[in-house]
Protein backbone atom coordinates (compact mmCIF):
# COMPACT_ATOMS: atom_id res chain seq x y z
CA UNK A 1 0.00 0.00 0.00
CA UNK A 2 1.29 3.45 -0.90
CA UNK A 3 0.68 6.59 1.13
CA UNK A 4 0.04 9.23 -1.50
CA UNK A 5 -0.44 12.31 0.68
CA UNK A 6 -1.09 13.40 4.25
CA UNK A 7 -2.95 16.20 6.00
CA UNK A 8 -2.20 17.75 9.38
CA UNK A 9 -4.74 19.76 11.32
CA UNK A 10 -4.20 21.45 14.66
CA UNK A 11 -7.52 21.44 16.48
CA UNK A 12 -8.59 22.64 19.92
CA UNK A 13 -11.49 20.99 21.69
CA UNK A 14 -12.91 22.55 24.89
CA UNK A 15 -13.40 20.20 27.85
CA UNK A 16 -16.79 20.13 29.57
CA UNK A 17 -15.15 20.56 32.95
CA UNK A 18 -12.03 21.82 34.68
CA UNK A 19 -9.58 18.90 34.94
CA UNK A 20 -6.86 19.29 37.58
CA UNK A 21 -3.93 16.94 38.20
CA UNK A 22 -0.56 17.39 39.90
CA UNK A 23 0.62 18.86 36.56
CA UNK A 24 -1.89 21.71 36.70
CA UNK A 25 -5.34 22.61 35.37
CA UNK A 26 -6.63 21.80 31.89
CA UNK A 27 -9.78 23.20 30.23
CA UNK A 28 -8.86 22.68 26.55
CA UNK A 29 -7.45 19.75 24.61
CA UNK A 30 -5.09 20.59 21.75
CA UNK A 31 -4.16 17.85 19.29
CA UNK A 32 -2.87 17.22 15.79
CA UNK A 33 -5.29 15.27 13.63
CA UNK A 34 -3.38 13.29 11.01
CA UNK A 35 -5.00 11.89 7.86
CA UNK A 36 -3.12 9.59 5.48
CA UNK A 37 -4.41 9.15 1.93
CA UNK A 38 -3.80 6.04 -0.16
CA UNK A 39 -5.61 3.95 -2.75
CA UNK A 40 -8.83 5.92 -2.30
CA UNK A 41 -8.86 5.38 1.47
CA UNK A 42 -8.16 7.57 4.50
CA UNK A 43 -6.40 6.57 7.72
CA UNK A 44 -6.73 8.67 10.88
CA UNK A 45 -4.78 9.27 14.08
CA UNK A 46 -4.41 11.96 16.71
CA UNK A 47 -1.40 12.99 18.71
CA UNK A 48 -1.43 12.69 22.50
CA UNK A 49 1.30 15.11 23.60
CA UNK A 50 0.52 18.56 24.98
CA UNK A 51 1.77 22.00 24.01
CA UNK A 52 4.16 21.99 26.95
CA UNK A 53 6.44 19.11 28.03
CA UNK A 54 4.78 18.31 31.34
CA UNK A 55 3.70 14.69 30.84
CA UNK A 56 6.69 13.65 28.73
CA UNK A 57 9.22 15.68 26.74
CA UNK A 58 7.36 15.87 23.40
CA UNK A 59 5.28 18.92 22.43
CA UNK A 60 2.71 19.72 19.75
CA UNK A 61 4.92 22.29 17.95
CA UNK A 62 7.78 19.79 17.80
CA UNK A 63 5.51 16.98 16.61
CA UNK A 64 4.02 19.16 13.86
CA UNK A 65 7.44 20.06 12.46
CA UNK A 66 8.74 16.49 12.67
CA UNK A 67 5.69 15.03 10.93
CA UNK A 68 5.53 17.65 8.20
CA UNK A 69 9.22 17.95 7.44
CA UNK A 70 10.63 14.48 8.10
CA UNK A 71 8.43 11.55 9.09
CA UNK A 72 5.67 11.87 6.51
CA UNK A 73 8.07 12.61 3.61
CA UNK A 74 10.08 9.56 4.71
CA UNK A 75 7.18 7.19 3.90
CA UNK A 76 5.30 8.93 1.09
CA UNK A 77 5.22 7.01 -2.18
CA UNK A 78 6.81 3.85 -0.77
CA UNK A 79 5.15 0.48 -1.22
CA UNK A 80 4.48 -0.59 2.37
CA UNK A 81 3.22 -4.12 2.86
CA UNK A 82 2.20 -3.70 6.52
CA UNK A 83 2.69 -1.51 9.62
CA UNK A 84 5.91 -3.37 10.49
CA UNK A 85 7.44 -2.15 7.24
CA UNK A 86 6.31 1.42 7.86
CA UNK A 87 7.87 1.30 11.33
CA UNK A 88 11.10 0.11 9.76
CA UNK A 89 11.21 3.29 7.70
CA UNK A 90 11.07 5.55 10.76
CA UNK A 91 12.61 3.42 13.52
CA UNK A 92 16.05 4.89 12.93
CA UNK A 93 14.92 8.29 14.15
CA UNK A 94 15.52 8.31 17.88
CA UNK A 95 12.95 9.21 20.51
CA UNK A 96 9.81 11.16 19.59
CA UNK A 97 7.69 8.08 20.22
CA UNK A 98 4.38 9.92 20.52
CA UNK A 99 4.97 11.62 17.18
CA UNK A 100 6.02 8.42 15.42
CA UNK A 101 3.06 6.64 17.02
CA UNK A 102 0.62 9.00 15.31
CA UNK A 103 2.03 8.14 11.89
CA UNK A 104 2.08 4.40 12.63
CA UNK A 105 -1.45 4.40 14.07
CA UNK A 106 -2.88 6.28 11.08
CA UNK A 107 -1.30 3.68 8.81
CA UNK A 108 -2.87 0.87 10.85
CA UNK A 109 -6.27 2.45 10.17
CA UNK A 110 -5.49 2.84 6.47
CA UNK A 111 -4.07 -0.68 6.12
CA UNK A 112 -6.93 -2.39 7.98
CA UNK A 113 -9.41 -0.53 5.79
CA UNK A 114 -7.61 -1.89 2.74
CA UNK A 115 -8.11 -5.38 4.21
CA UNK A 116 -11.76 -4.69 5.00
CA UNK A 117 -11.17 -5.71 8.63
CA UNK A 118 -11.58 -3.92 11.97
CA UNK A 119 -8.35 -3.18 13.79
CA UNK A 120 -9.19 -5.34 16.81
CA UNK A 121 -9.53 -8.48 14.67
CA UNK A 122 -6.26 -7.89 12.84
CA UNK A 123 -4.52 -7.38 16.20
CA UNK A 124 -5.89 -10.63 17.62
CA UNK A 125 -8.32 -9.09 20.10
CA UNK A 126 -10.58 -11.41 22.08
CA UNK A 127 -13.54 -9.25 23.10
CA UNK A 128 -16.12 -6.97 21.52
CA UNK A 129 -16.56 -4.76 24.59
CA UNK A 130 -14.07 -3.66 27.22
CA UNK A 131 -14.43 -2.76 30.92
CA UNK A 132 -13.91 0.93 31.67
CA UNK A 133 -13.58 3.21 34.66
CA UNK A 134 -13.32 6.95 35.16
CA UNK A 135 -10.53 9.27 36.20
CA UNK A 136 -11.45 12.13 38.53
CA UNK A 137 -9.36 15.26 38.71
CA UNK A 138 -8.47 17.09 41.90
CA UNK A 139 -11.73 18.57 43.16
CA UNK A 140 -12.20 21.62 45.41
CA UNK A 141 -13.11 19.44 48.40
CA UNK A 142 -13.48 15.88 49.62
CA UNK A 143 -17.25 16.37 49.61
CA UNK A 144 -17.17 17.32 45.92
CA UNK A 145 -15.02 14.28 45.21
CA UNK A 146 -17.43 11.96 47.02
CA UNK A 147 -20.27 13.33 44.91
CA UNK A 148 -18.34 12.63 41.69
CA UNK A 149 -17.45 9.14 42.87
CA UNK A 150 -21.08 8.40 43.61
CA UNK A 151 -22.12 9.62 40.17
CA UNK A 152 -19.50 7.44 38.50
CA UNK A 153 -20.54 4.33 40.40
CA UNK A 154 -24.22 4.96 39.70
CA UNK A 155 -23.35 5.18 35.99
CA UNK A 156 -21.90 1.69 36.18
CA UNK A 157 -18.20 2.50 35.86
CA UNK A 158 -16.06 -0.37 37.11
CA UNK A 159 -13.17 1.58 38.60
CA UNK A 160 -12.76 5.01 40.15
CA UNK A 161 -9.34 6.68 39.85
CA UNK A 162 -8.53 9.68 42.01
CA UNK A 163 -5.79 12.14 41.07
CA UNK A 164 -3.61 12.89 44.08
CA UNK A 165 -0.71 15.17 45.03
CA UNK A 166 1.17 15.82 48.30
CA UNK A 167 -1.34 17.04 50.86
CA UNK A 168 -4.28 15.68 48.84
CA UNK A 169 -3.91 11.94 49.23
CA UNK A 170 -4.38 9.81 52.36
CA UNK A 171 -7.30 11.69 53.89
CA UNK A 172 -9.02 11.76 50.50
CA UNK A 173 -8.53 8.06 49.77
CA UNK A 174 -9.66 6.96 53.22
CA UNK A 175 -12.78 9.15 53.01
CA UNK A 176 -13.75 7.67 49.65
CA UNK A 177 -13.07 4.15 50.89
CA UNK A 178 -15.22 4.71 53.98
CA UNK A 179 -18.08 6.09 51.88
CA UNK A 180 -17.82 3.40 49.20
CA UNK A 181 -16.33 0.27 50.82
CA UNK A 182 -16.95 -1.98 47.79
CA UNK A 183 -15.67 0.38 45.09
CA UNK A 184 -12.75 -0.58 42.87
CA UNK A 185 -10.58 2.37 43.84
CA UNK A 186 -7.18 3.55 42.61
CA UNK A 187 -5.09 6.72 42.85
CA UNK A 188 -2.82 8.43 40.32
CA UNK A 189 0.08 10.60 41.47
CA UNK A 190 1.47 11.64 38.07
CA UNK A 191 5.05 11.53 39.44
CA UNK A 192 4.37 14.05 42.24
CA UNK A 193 6.18 12.17 45.03
CA UNK A 194 9.63 10.85 46.03
CA UNK A 195 10.97 8.15 48.32
CA UNK A 196 10.80 10.73 51.11
CA UNK A 197 7.01 10.12 51.04
CA UNK A 198 7.17 6.40 51.93
CA UNK A 199 5.10 7.06 55.06
CA UNK A 200 2.33 8.48 52.87
CA UNK A 201 2.25 5.36 50.72
CA UNK A 202 2.28 3.06 53.72
CA UNK A 203 -0.72 5.01 55.03
CA UNK A 204 -2.45 4.55 51.66
CA UNK A 205 -2.26 0.78 52.16
CA UNK A 206 -5.18 1.22 54.58
CA UNK A 207 -7.42 2.46 51.75
CA UNK A 208 -7.46 -0.99 50.06
CA UNK A 209 -6.53 0.44 46.67
CA UNK A 210 -6.23 -1.74 43.60
CA UNK A 211 -3.02 0.12 42.76
CA UNK A 212 -1.13 3.41 43.10
CA UNK A 213 -0.30 4.82 39.69
CA UNK A 214 3.10 6.41 38.89
CA UNK A 215 3.94 7.77 42.34
CA UNK A 216 7.61 8.62 41.62
CA UNK A 217 9.65 10.29 38.87
CA UNK A 218 8.42 10.07 35.29
CA UNK A 219 11.64 8.41 34.09
CA UNK A 220 12.34 6.13 37.07
CA UNK A 221 11.97 2.42 37.69
CA UNK A 222 14.67 1.81 40.34
CA UNK A 223 13.08 3.87 43.11
CA UNK A 224 9.69 2.43 42.20
CA UNK A 225 11.14 -1.03 42.93
CA UNK A 226 12.28 0.19 46.36
CA UNK A 227 8.84 1.64 47.06
CA UNK A 228 7.03 -1.47 45.84
CA UNK A 229 9.07 -3.59 48.25
CA UNK A 230 8.04 -1.32 51.14
CA UNK A 231 4.25 -1.29 50.63
CA UNK A 232 1.55 -3.88 50.07
CA UNK A 233 -0.50 -1.96 47.48
CA UNK A 234 0.49 -2.70 43.89
CA UNK A 235 2.32 0.04 41.99
CA UNK A 236 1.11 0.75 38.46
CA UNK A 237 3.69 2.26 36.10
CA UNK A 238 2.63 4.86 33.52
CA UNK A 239 5.08 7.59 32.43
CA UNK A 240 8.08 5.36 33.18
CA UNK A 241 7.14 2.85 30.47
CA UNK A 242 8.00 4.22 27.03
CA UNK A 243 8.89 0.95 25.28
CA UNK A 244 8.59 -2.83 25.54
CA UNK A 245 12.15 -2.84 26.88
CA UNK A 246 11.13 -0.51 29.71
CA UNK A 247 8.26 -2.84 30.56
CA UNK A 248 10.51 -5.90 30.66
CA UNK A 249 13.12 -4.23 32.86
CA UNK A 250 10.53 -2.77 35.24
CA UNK A 251 8.76 -6.08 35.77
CA UNK A 252 12.06 -7.93 36.08
CA UNK A 253 13.21 -5.79 39.02
CA UNK A 254 9.77 -5.61 40.65
CA UNK A 255 9.15 -1.90 40.06
CA UNK A 256 5.43 -2.53 39.86
CA UNK A 257 2.75 -5.16 39.41
CA UNK A 258 0.53 -3.39 36.88
CA UNK A 259 1.19 -1.36 33.72
CA UNK A 260 -0.93 1.45 32.34
CA UNK A 261 -0.47 1.15 28.59
CA UNK A 262 -0.90 4.21 26.40
CA UNK A 263 -0.15 3.44 22.75
CA UNK A 264 1.11 6.93 22.01
CA UNK A 265 3.55 6.86 24.90
CA UNK A 266 5.22 3.58 23.90
CA UNK A 267 5.47 4.34 20.17
CA UNK A 268 2.27 2.99 18.65
CA UNK A 269 0.27 -0.17 18.19
CA UNK A 270 3.11 -2.57 17.38
CA UNK A 271 4.92 -1.55 20.56
CA UNK A 272 1.67 -1.76 22.53
CA UNK A 273 1.19 -5.35 21.45
CA UNK A 274 4.76 -6.15 22.52
CA UNK A 275 4.24 -4.54 25.94
CA UNK A 276 1.05 -6.56 26.29
CA UNK A 277 2.88 -9.78 25.43
CA UNK A 278 5.61 -9.03 28.00
CA UNK A 279 3.06 -8.48 30.77
CA UNK A 280 1.38 -11.71 29.70
CA UNK A 281 4.68 -13.59 30.07
CA UNK A 282 4.87 -12.34 33.67
CA UNK A 283 1.22 -13.17 34.32
CA UNK A 284 0.52 -9.54 35.21
CA UNK A 285 -2.33 -7.31 34.04
CA UNK A 286 -2.27 -4.26 31.85
CA UNK A 287 -4.96 -1.65 31.33
CA UNK A 288 -5.63 1.06 28.77
CA UNK A 289 -4.76 4.54 29.90
CA UNK A 290 -6.07 7.80 28.50
CA UNK A 291 -4.66 11.15 27.40
CA UNK A 292 -7.96 13.03 27.04
CA UNK A 293 -8.31 11.65 23.52
CA UNK A 294 -11.01 12.78 21.16
CA UNK A 295 -12.88 10.21 19.07
CA UNK A 296 -10.07 9.00 16.83
CA UNK A 297 -7.60 8.37 19.63
CA UNK A 298 -10.30 6.91 21.89
CA UNK A 299 -11.38 4.47 19.17
CA UNK A 300 -7.79 3.31 18.63
CA UNK A 301 -7.34 2.72 22.37
CA UNK A 302 -10.56 0.71 22.53
CA UNK A 303 -9.38 -1.59 19.73
CA UNK A 304 -6.00 -2.23 21.38
CA UNK A 305 -7.70 -2.95 24.71
CA UNK A 306 -9.37 -6.04 23.23
CA UNK A 307 -6.10 -7.99 23.68
CA UNK A 308 -6.27 -10.73 26.36
CA UNK A 309 -4.34 -9.15 29.27
CA UNK A 310 -6.40 -5.94 29.37
CA UNK A 311 -8.39 -7.32 32.26
CA UNK A 312 -8.52 -4.23 34.46
CA UNK A 313 -10.93 -1.36 33.65
CA UNK A 314 -9.25 1.31 31.58
CA UNK A 315 -9.67 5.05 31.03
CA UNK A 316 -11.67 4.86 27.79
CA UNK A 317 -14.88 6.09 29.40
CA UNK A 318 -17.75 7.70 27.51
CA UNK A 319 -16.75 10.54 25.19
CA UNK A 320 -19.73 12.57 26.40
CA UNK A 321 -18.01 12.94 29.81
CA UNK A 322 -15.41 15.14 28.16
CA UNK A 323 -16.81 16.76 25.03
CA UNK A 324 -19.95 18.69 24.19
CA UNK A 325 -19.49 17.29 20.69
CA UNK A 326 -16.88 14.76 19.59
CA UNK A 327 -15.03 14.89 16.26
CA UNK A 328 -16.45 11.56 15.03
CA UNK A 329 -19.92 10.53 13.90
CA UNK A 330 -20.09 7.45 16.11
CA UNK A 331 -21.00 7.76 19.80
CA UNK A 332 -18.35 6.05 21.93
CA UNK A 333 -20.48 5.52 25.03
CA UNK A 334 -20.12 2.93 27.78
CA UNK A 335 -23.09 0.96 29.07
CA UNK A 336 -22.88 -0.49 32.60
CA UNK A 337 -19.13 0.02 32.60
CA UNK A 338 -18.54 -1.70 29.25
CA UNK A 339 -17.42 0.10 26.09
CA UNK A 340 -18.45 -1.51 22.77
CA UNK A 341 -15.67 -1.86 20.20
CA UNK A 342 -16.38 -0.15 16.84
CA UNK A 343 -16.92 -2.87 14.25
CA UNK A 344 -16.29 -1.20 10.87
CA UNK A 345 -13.04 -1.55 8.91
CA UNK A 346 -9.99 0.04 10.50
CA UNK A 347 -10.96 2.11 13.50
CA UNK A 348 -14.60 1.87 12.49
CA UNK A 349 -15.26 5.58 12.96
CA UNK A 350 -15.80 8.55 10.64
CA UNK A 351 -14.88 12.22 11.03
CA UNK A 352 -17.44 14.98 11.48
CA UNK A 353 -15.83 17.00 8.73
CA UNK A 354 -17.75 20.22 9.31
CA UNK A 355 -16.88 20.20 13.01
CA UNK A 356 -13.24 19.37 12.33
CA UNK A 357 -13.05 22.27 9.88
CA UNK A 358 -14.61 24.59 12.46
CA UNK A 359 -12.13 23.50 15.15
CA UNK A 360 -9.05 23.71 12.91
CA UNK A 361 -6.54 26.41 13.88
CA UNK A 362 -4.03 25.59 11.14
CA UNK A 363 -3.50 22.87 8.54
CA UNK A 364 -0.89 21.54 6.15
CA UNK A 365 -1.09 19.18 3.17
CA UNK A 366 2.03 17.10 2.61
CA UNK A 367 2.77 15.56 -0.78
CA UNK A 368 6.56 15.67 -1.01
CA UNK A 369 8.69 12.61 -0.33
CA UNK A 370 12.26 12.44 0.85
CA UNK A 371 14.57 12.68 -2.16
CA UNK A 372 17.49 10.35 -2.82
pLDDT digits (tens, 9 = 90+) for 235-266: 999 999 999 999 999 999 999 999 999 999 99
pLDDT score at 305: 97
Q: Strand 24-38 and strand 41-46: pairing? A: antiparallel
- pTM of the predicted model over 0.85: yes
Q: What is the average pLDDT across 40-65?
A: 93
Mean of the per-residue pLDDT values of the chain:
94
**How far from chain centre, in Å, is Cα 49?**
10
Contacts of residue 156, Cβ cutoff 8 Å, sequence gap at least 6: 334, 335, 336, 337
**Burial (Cβ within 10 Å: 0-12, 13-18, ≥19) of residue 162:** buried
The band of 19, judged by pLDDT with boundaries at 50, 70 and 90, is low
| Catalytic center residues | 163, 262
**Gap between the Cα atoms of 298 and 315, Å rounded:** 9
**Gap between the Cα atoms of 67 and 74, Å rounded:** 9
**Gap between the Cα atoms of 289 and 24, Å rounded:** 19
Q: What is the average pLDDT across 148-168?
A: 95
Number of helices and strands in the chain (H, E): 14, 13
pLDDT in tens, 320-370: 888 889 999 999 999 999 999 999 999 999 999 999 999 999 999 999 887
pLDDT in tens, 162-197: 999 999 999 999 999 999 999 999 999 999 999 999
pLDDT score at 371: 66
pLDDT score at 323: 87
The band of 54, judged by pLDDT with boundaries at 50, 70 and 90, is confident
The band of 8, judged by pLDDT with boundaries at 50, 70 and 90, is very high
Radius of gyration of the chain (CA): 20
Q: What is the average pLDDT across 266-275?
A: 97
Contacts of residue 367, Cβ cutoff 8 Å, sequence gap at least 6: 4, 5, 76
Is the pLDDT at 22 greater than 70? The verdict is no
Amino acid sequence: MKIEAAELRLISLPLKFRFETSFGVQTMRHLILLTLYGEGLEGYAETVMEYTPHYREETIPGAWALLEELLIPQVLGKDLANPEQLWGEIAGFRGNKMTKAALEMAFWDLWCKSLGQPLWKVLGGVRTEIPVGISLGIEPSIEATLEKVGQGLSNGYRRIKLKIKPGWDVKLALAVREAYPEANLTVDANSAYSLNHIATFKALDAASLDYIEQPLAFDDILDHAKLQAAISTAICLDESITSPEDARKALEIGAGRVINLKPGRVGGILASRKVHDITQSYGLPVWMGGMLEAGIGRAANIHVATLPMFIKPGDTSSASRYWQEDIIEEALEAQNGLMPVPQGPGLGVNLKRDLVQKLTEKSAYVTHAVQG
